[in-house]
Amino acid sequence: MPERQGREHVWWTRKAPGMPRAWHAARTLGDSAPSLLPAMPEDMAAVRLSPNGRLIAFAVDGPQSGPRQWKLFDRRAGRLLDWTAADARRGTGAVWRPDSGALLYIQGGDRDSVVERAVDSPAAVPIATGIDAPDATRLQLLSYDAGAGAFLVAGKDDVRRPYVWRLVNLAAPRLEPVVAIPGAHFTPFHADARRTLLLTDHEAPNGKIIAVSHGPAAKGWRTVAAGTDQGKFEEAAWTGDGVAVRVQRPLYREALWYPAGGGKSVAYRLPHHGTISGIAAGDAGSVLLDYSATAAPRGIWRASHRSRPARPTLTPSLQFDTGAYRTRTDEIVTAQGARIPLLITEPRSLRGPAPVFLYVNSYEGLSPAFAATLAFWLQRTGGVSFPSGSMTAASAVWPGRECRAPAASRRPSTISTPSIGMWFPAG
């Protein structure tokens, strides 16, 4: 499920038979460079990136169908930490301390409590205990105001009506009502100091996107977009100036974008008739789609709204092979200190010479002159640089050795300008 993490990071998970995936996209040079994370559990949910970008918190089911547990993954070390926070109630969410030193989440009991578990601590510390919440409700943490010492939470009131509350006075916690949410079921997908965006079943089985205002100047809600009998809303993501929605049609899925201020939607122009498995917010004005089709590379595709085209087109942001291949990241550091992210597809088994594909992702901020310089650098180091546009070469020659692309990558792939790729042997 996609998660928007601040202005520069996006997290979401993707499940495939035997291959659970967790993706991260970091805003770099004005674009998004997704990368595949290793060793992530299959049933992970509620992914939360720490403010410093180093740690990932996520929830998994406990042993023998026990309470959910929070775990931590260290991105720099590329491994799970020996850290487990038990008794996390399903679907309650979590938030980080601004200094990334601790995770705050809701712990179940006779009454809900907000607890804090430091990254370097073996135990959780209560922050707000005995919350007097309505019976049978499940509070969801939306955000944390460290300066005011208050949380924004969502749940259902005594008549099972969804509500947004502010949790204040943590020593003797109480819930202050902010605004009622229409509908019986809802999924928050974006929250900030002024508003919360939710996907709700309000007034229709096909869902609505509503914006709930809870700032000091205005409180209430309004409809941003609504599904119809011909299109059910399945998933949504905030793009900074609007909402991107994954829509289930009778025979196919499509993605639509609605401006935040209201107005007519625009459809993303997919290059082939394929499947959209996930949708997530990129940097402001863009959206990332987990998209696949018979005649198109499977992977993460990016669409920008900056130029406000009538029908935004998609460009491949990351292609990946399944089965025997995996994707990892590396970088080039220029003489000026600029760091250029690289995405590498390589065999899972590195026994003996094997083909490895490397390319530099497309960046809006990367000039053609810089791209040409980088291409020259790749050639000098023994790589083969392909020109921008259609990359059709199925093999290339490394000094003294021939390398061939994996069969799954031999079809032509359109990479948006400017882009550079090369093949080289592993080991």
Reported as a single tens digit per residue, the pLDDT across 382-420 is 343 333 332 222 222 222 222 233 333 333 232 222 233
CA distance 74 to 172: 35
Residue 367 lies in a domain: yes
pTM of structure = 0.54
The more confident residue out of 246 and 23 is 246
User: How many structural domains is the chain composed of?
Assistant: 1
Please measure the distance between the N-terminal and C-terminal CA atoms of the chain and give it in whole angstroms: 36
Query: What 3-state class would DSSP assign to 163?
Result: strand
Residue 145 lies in a domain: no
The pLDDT score that the predictor gives to residue 105 is 85
What percent of the chain lies above the pLDDT cut of 70?
44
Q: What is the pLDDT of residues 357-386, one digit of tens each?
A: 444 443 333 444 444 444 444 444 434 333
Cα–Cα distances in angstroms (integers) from residue 331 to residues 206, 337, 338, 359, in the given order: 44, 12, 10, 11
Residue 158 lies in a domain: no
Residue 382 lies in a domain: yes
CA distance 131 to 118: 21
What percent of the chain lies above the pLDDT cut of 90?
0
DSSP 390-405: EE---EEEETTEEEE-
Residue 380 lies in a domain: yes
The more confident residue out of 259 and 191 is 259
Q: What is the pLDDT of residues 62-79, one digit of tens each?
A: 666 666 778 887 767 767
Boundaries of domain holding 421: 325-426
Residue 398 lies in a domain: yes
The more confident residue out of 148 and 314 is 148
231 falls in which pLDDT band (50, 70, 90)? confident
- 341 near 33, Cβ under 8 Å? yes
Residue 405 lies in a domain: yes
Residue 269 lies in a domain: no
CA distance 336 to 359: 21
CA distance 208 to 259: 14
Query: What 3-state class would DSSP assign to 407?
Result: helix
The pLDDT score that the predictor gives to residue 10 is 38
